[in-house]
């Protein structure tokens, strides 16, 4: 089992690392303090990423879970893995700025996961936000109350969505809504709603603990009319399949959020090792029980970080090779979200006044990391999903 990054991604990752250091880090504090201001420096960078993505496997948050059922059973390290590895490097620079990158939104992943070929072509190049969470529906996506009612060749959307990342800036929003509340999870579908559609209103932008460079919106849908062709994937309600079609989106995006947490934690770990480099054994030759308490804590964090990275790689590899990865995606997200948050906070603690001061980015990384254990499903929801998959129980059997 080869645990190294695939060599074919080296140039891509080297470029992403340089972008993190030379583009994102220098403006990180600027946009942390200027909440809701759009980082104009990202426009040129986004154009560069578009070119890289058009050329093949690049950093593209629209990474698709391949079409399963293909006869090609050769091993692949494809767009899911390259995306996740690229995200690690970009979040090593700044998580909020990565989330603000045009045309790299999580809504793009939703489109890639469930759209048909015609829709993939039609929505190519759009910047898509993703609207799932509602005021009375947190991580339980099956409890969605936003409705989509068929009316001729259109659907009419009514409801409210909160915590929509890039909700104001994006070109369109992927909205999750139910076609029939009585049919439960099976009736939940996703719709692409272009910016400026009548009936869709951005109510407000949230003031947040971290990722301040990224706008987080509350969006209301009031008799919002959307063409039926904008319903992603199949409009049929398959009760037997249930929520599985929608869950393919999460199977796609949760490893990417894990990669964000890994990248943010990588920045903190690297910085704390620089601060205490004189007290650490760079060759790891000193037995663990003979290390200082400080060194032991740092080595333990490194081990946890590496475990999270490998779990994330497994989930992305499975997606690239068309293997069902729902459990593995949740395992990776749960581990990386918790470990990333623990590491960034511990690094602030170990660095004491240096870590708590705005002259360092350690305190910012600690604030940014918290959301990565919350959005795309909280720690508790991930553990529930893992338990259901491990025990073979349905959502009604294990709540």
DSSP class of residue 176?
Answer: E
CA nearest to 81, candidates 28, 24, 141, 2: 2
CA distance 200 to 220: 6
Place of tokens 């992927």: 174
Q: What is the DSSP string of 362-385?
A: HHHHHHHHHGGGTTTS-HHHHHHH
Q: Which residues, in sequence order, are CB contacts of 48 under 8 Å at separation 6+?
A: none
Using an 8 Å Cβ cutoff, are 331 and 385 in contact?
no
Options 349, 376, 390, 397, the catalytic residue: 376
Question: In whole angstroms, what separates CA 125 from the centre of its chain?
Answer: 19
Tokens representing residue 143 in the block:
């409890």
DSSP 3-state of 20: helix
Catalytic-residue membership of 390: no
Strands 172-178, 188-194: pairing is antiparallel
Query: Can you spell out the DSSP letters for 207-256?
Result: --SS-TTS-EEEEEEEEEEEEGGGB-S--S--TTTTTHHHHHHHHHHHHH
Number of H helices, E strands in the chain: 12, 7
DSSP conformation letters of 329-365: HHHHHHHHHHHHHHHHHHHHHHHTTTTTSTTSSHHHH
Q: Which two tokens stand for residue 199?
A: 């009936």
Cα Dmax for the chain: 73
Encode burial over 4-33: b for 16+ CB neighbours within 10 A, e otherwise: ebbeebeebbebbbebbeebbbebbeebbe
* Beta bridge partner(s), residue 218: 204
Residue 98 three-state SS? helix
* Rg, the chain, Cα only: 21
Residues marked active site are found at 376
């Amino acid at each position: 089992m080869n645990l190294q990054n695939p060599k074919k991604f080296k140039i891509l990752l080297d470029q992403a690392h340089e972008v993190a250091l030379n583009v994102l880090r220098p403006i990180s504090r600027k946009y942390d303090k200027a909440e809701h201001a759009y980082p104009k420096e990202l426009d040129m960078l986004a154009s560069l990423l578009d070119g890289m993505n058009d050329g093949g496997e690049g950093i593209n948050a629209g990474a698709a879970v391949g079409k399963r059922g293909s006869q090609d059973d050769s091993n692949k390290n494809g767009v899911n893995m390259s995306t996740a590895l690229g995200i690690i490097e970009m979040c090593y620079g700044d998580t909020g700025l990565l989330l603000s990158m045009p045309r790299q939104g999580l809504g793009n992943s939703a489109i890639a996961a469930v759209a048909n070929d015609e829709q993939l072509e039609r929505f190519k190049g759009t910047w898509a936000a993703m609207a799932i969470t509602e005021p009375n529906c947190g991580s339980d996506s099956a409890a969605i109350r936003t409705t989509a009612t068929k009316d001729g060749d259109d659907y009419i959307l009514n409801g409210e969505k909160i915590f929509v990342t890039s909700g104001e800036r994006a070109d369109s929003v992927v909205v999750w809504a139910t076609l029939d509340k009585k049919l439960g999870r099976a009736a939940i579908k996703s719709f692409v709603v272009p910016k400026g559609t009548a009936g869709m209103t951005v109510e407000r932008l949230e003031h947040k603990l971290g990722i301040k460079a990224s706008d987080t919106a509350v969006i209301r849908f009031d008799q919002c009319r959307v063409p039926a062709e904008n319903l992603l994937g199949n409009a049929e309600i398959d009760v037997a399949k249930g929520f599985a079609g929608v869950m393919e989106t999460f199977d796609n995006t949760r490893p990417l959020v894990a990669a964000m947490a890994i990248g943010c934690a990588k920045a903190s770990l690297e910085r704390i090792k620089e601060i205490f480099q004189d007290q650490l054994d760079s060759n790891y030759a000193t037995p663990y029980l003979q290390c200082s308490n400080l060194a032991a804590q740092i080595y333990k964090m490194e081990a946890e970080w590496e475990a999270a990275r490998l779990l994330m790689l497994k989930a992305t590899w499975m997606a690239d090779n068309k293997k069902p990865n729902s459990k593995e995606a949740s395992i990776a997200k749960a581990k990386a979200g918790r470990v990333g948050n623990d590491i960034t906070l511990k690094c602030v603690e170990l660095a004491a006044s240096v870590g708590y001061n705005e002259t360092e980015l350690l305190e910012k990384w600690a604030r940014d990391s918290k959301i990565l254990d919350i959005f795309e499903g909280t720690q508790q929801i991930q553990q529930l999903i893992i338990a259901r998959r491990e025990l073979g129980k349905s959502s009604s059997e294990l709540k």
